[in-house]
Amino acid sequence: MTPLRWYFDFVSPYSYLHWQKLKRLPQFGQIVPVPIAFGAVLHHLGNLGPAEIPAKRRFMYRQLAWTAEQEGVPLRFPPGHPFNPLAALRLCLAAGAGSAAVDALFNWIWRDGNAGDSAQALAPVAEALGISDVQAATADAAVKEQLRRNTEAAIAAGVFGVPTLAVGSELFWGNDAHPLMAAVLADPTLLQRPDWQALETLPVSIHRNR
């Protein structure tokens, strides 16, 4: 069976929207959620996050509100964005990083509009996940190390954004790429189309100075 790993960060509203689609896939039970620190990926690539570019941020928030409405997904922004998601990511890992933990945290932050940037803010959802001491859980050295390893593995795999579904070594990025992901999951031979294969050797005609 081809491994299916879904790289995400709770800071990403697109990850929240895409999670709702993944749950409807027949292959959902085979998908392993992998919490990663998106900020570390951006730092590695030398990129800004979309919400760090003012004009893009303004467009993105409108587009997110429209997309959620079109997809019938409740979306309520947390008190501030972007926010530091480390506490939420670590809590997810401390709770086992299964679908119940991912659901609970996405719902807390993006469905209900609560803060997800500190152990204190996450205390109610932590309690619902069976974790009474959220501060200790999110400060646990093993949990921090797992998040670091997850993020390093994502970078090594070539992940450049969230959400990303890895189907073996193939990466499918973004909520709007879901139809392509689903098509490839249903028929992996799509990736062998000659015209798609030819695109992999398309020459680069210019390199920008940085």
pLDDT tens readout for residues 43-56: 999 999 999 999 99
Task: State what percent of residues in the chain have pLDDT above 70.
Answer: 100
**Full 3-state SS string of 69-92:** HHHCCCCCCCCCCCCCCHHHHHHH
Longest dimension (CA), the chain: 57
H or E element that contains 101 = helix 99-106
pLDDT tens readout for residues 69-96: 999 999 999 999 999 999 999 999 999 9
DSSP state of 209: -
Question: For residues 135 and 10, what is the distance between their CA atoms, to the nearest angstrom?
Answer: 18
* Arithmetic mean of pLDDT over the chain: 96
Question: Does pLDDT of 1 surpass 70?
Answer: no
145: amino acid identity, one letter: E
Q: What are the DSSP calls for 48-61, one per residue?
A: --GGGSHHHHHHHH
Among all residues, which ones are annotated catalytic? 12
pLDDT tens readout for residues 21-67: 999 999 999 999 999 999 999 999 999 999 999 999 999 999 999 99
pLDDT at residue 40, as a whole number: 97
Question: Does pLDDT of 104 surpass 90?
Answer: yes
pLDDT at residue 195, as a whole number: 94
DSSP state of 113: -
Burial state string for 133-146 with b = 16 or more CB within 10 A and e = fewer than 16: ebeebbeeeebeeb
Is the pTM value of this prediction over 0.85? yes
Please answer whether residues 15 and 163 qualify as being in contact, where contact means their C-beta atoms are separated by less than 8 angstroms.
yes
Angle between helices 141-157 and 38-45 (to 10 degrees): 40
The pLDDT-based confidence of 2 (bands split at 50, 70, 90) is confident
Question: Does pLDDT of 175 surpass 80?
Answer: yes
Structure tokens at 106: 């996405």
CB neighbours of residue 102 within 10 Å: 23
Residue 68 CA: distances (Å) to CA of 73, 94, 121, 153 = 5, 29, 24, 30
Among 37, 44, 42, CA closest to 10: 37
Question: Does pLDDT of 3 surpass 90?
Answer: no
Question: Does pLDDT of 110 surpass 80?
Answer: yes
pLDDT at residue 209, as a whole number: 80
The domains located in the chain, with CATH, are 4-199 (3.40.30.10)
Mapping DSSP to helix (H, G, I), strand (E, B) and coil, where does residue 144 land? helix
DSSP state of 110: I
pLDDT at residue 169, as a whole number: 92
